[in-house]
Amino acid sequence: MIPVTERLRLKKNADRRLKAGHLWLYSNEVDTVATPLKNFEPGAQAIIEASNGRAMGVAYVNPNSLICARIVSRNPEQRLDRSLLVHRFNQALSLRESLYDKPFYRLVHGEGDLLPGLIVDRFGDVLVCQLNTFGMERLAEVIVDALLKVVKPTAIVFKNDSSGRRQEQLERNVEVVYGELPESVLLEENGVQFSAPVLDGQKTGWFYDHRDNRAWLNRQVAGKRVLDLFSYVGGWGVQAAAHGASEVLCVDASGAALERVSGNAVLNGVEDRVAIAESDVFEALTALRAEGEQFDVIIADPPAFIRKRKDITNGERAYARLNREAMRLLGRDGLLMSGSCSMHLAPERLMDVVRGAVRHQDRHGQVIFQGHQASDHPVHPSIPETSYLKALGVRVYRD
């Protein structure tokens, strides 16, 4: 093991969050007189020191990012190398294998698995990785080598097109870095099969985080007419059809995603009960209301309306509008599944959004389900940002 020799010193009292377990350091917490950030190469590793010189652990550094350092080990003698990656991958794999009986899950969830900046989703023998920081980018070849040792996949994809890479001043690219992709990358969730667009889809091609929330909804849909808004490739809607929904309409602005919906419906033999509509969701809601359409179950699971703190006000308005307009289409004793992947939308604010939408319709609401991200997306208890997903199952009815 090659020891880390560079040192990054913190200002007085700037070590409190690290002592509490957090893994991030901000540039304004660094004593740049003692240890100038400009002296570090992006991605270089350094020993983090308190203001009195006491070593607190090892982090990788990016002097050009607001989060200028991310802790990878509390042991100042350790560095993030192949040995530590293999160890962390084994820990992550052991957890997932204890949770799931089939190899379809998020294998590595960044800070939640003590590997900040790294995401790995598993689709059987195919791994899709996102290297979102300079520290992980510099270890790209080592990450591949460690994954080959621990998981032994037949293909590895780097899906490096996230907005986080832009913030780190990294180029965006998508490439198969090991093996060959099969013609169709398949996964199974809640007993339903899907083909995931791992090269040209959103994120890694699939959203495992809603697995448990979908499982709950699947038990409510038998014989029901379902509307799936922002459907993407049909994670909610096709599962609803496979679990007995009488009719499902999937709405999305992406024609390519809707082609995947149709293909996934065929894959599960429910194509006769799954329809698609290519449209802006808000325009579709207006049109459906004008046509007098009603649904028993509506899923409103949009992309993040709030990406940064400055977006909170406008984002909350968008969530309010979406939930309000969706409820207009609910029939008697309808069920709304309201989701949000915006970390900056607090759970209580989503509850407020739902409450406001219910009262706007002069109806009553009963929250009968409160969901969050699945267990393969572990929350780091010291990092609130790792808990981001929210889902509310709301029965909407009149007196």
E-strand stretches of the chain: 7-9, 24-26, 45-49, 55-61, 67-73, 104-109, 118-123, 126-131, 155-160, 173-179, 186-189, 192-195, 225-229, 247-252, 274-278, 295-300, 330-340, 364-371, 390-397
Q: What is the DSSP letter of 256?
A: H
Q: Strands 295-300 and 225-229: what pairing?
A: parallel
Q: Any catalytic annotation for residue 68?
A: no
d(CA 384, CA 276): 37
Cβ–Cβ < 8 Å for 350, 305: no
- The Cα–Cα gap between 107 and 54 comes to 34
* Helices and strands: H and E segment counts in the chain: 11, 19
Instruction: Kindly state the tokens that stand for 256.
Output: 């390519």
Q: Which of 68, 129, 250, 341 is catalytic?
A: 341
Q: Cα–Cα distance between 151 and 93 in angstroms, integer?
A: 8
Residue partners of 261: CB distance under 8 A and separation at least 6: 231, 233, 234, 237, 238, 250, 252, 274, 276
H helix runs in 103-202, sequence order: 134-137, 140-150, 163-167
How would you class 222 by CB atoms within 10 Å of its CB: exposed for 0-12, middle for 13-18, buried for 19 or more? exposed
Amino acid at 38: K
CA torsion 236→112→351→321, rounded to 10°? -60
Q: Give the Cα separation of 329 and 290 in Å (integer).
A: 10
For β-strands 390-397 and 192-195, DSSP reports them as: unpaired
Q: How many CB atoms lie within 10 A of CB 313?
A: 9
Token pair listed for 326: 């969706």
Query: Active-site residue numbers?
Result: 341
